[in-house]
Amino acid sequence: MNAVDAPAHEGQTRTKKKSDKPWQVVVLDDPVNLMEYVSRVLTNIFGFSTEKAKELMMAVHQKGRAVVWVGNREKAEMYVNQLHSAQLHATLDRAE
């Protein structure tokens, strides 16, 4: 059998690797935005309760950063873009 006749999928199987870890959206502290604004943005974008948004905002304020969402890369990128549009500093990192 020559290369043209060989099935394209032969020997190619998709296996889940350790590198297929989920992604996390991290909000970073900044000296510009008011804490109430950060809480409101988290509520609007992620649908968090007021209490959860305040808890995350305080983590950002006190620790300099907080993981606000974990999941697939495409959705994480969307959330980071939305946070940037709201003038918040955010990054996308591999979950540990």
**What is the distance between the alpha carbons of residues 27 and 10, in angstroms, rounded to a whole number?**
44
Query: Looking at the domain covering 30-94, what would its CATH class be?
Result: alpha beta
Given a cut of 50, is residue 12 above it in pLDDT?
A: no
Phi, psi of 14 (to 5 degrees): -90, 120
Given a cut of 90, is residue 68 above it in pLDDT?
A: yes
Q: What is the pLDDT of residue 19?
A: 55
Beta bridge partners of 27: 66, 90
Mean pLDDT computed over every residue of the chain? 87
90 in Cβ contact with 28 (< 8 Å): yes
Which range (6-10, 67-71, 80-84) has the least confidence? 6-10
Evaluate if pTM is beyond 0.85. Answer: no
Q: What is the pLDDT of residue 20?
A: 72
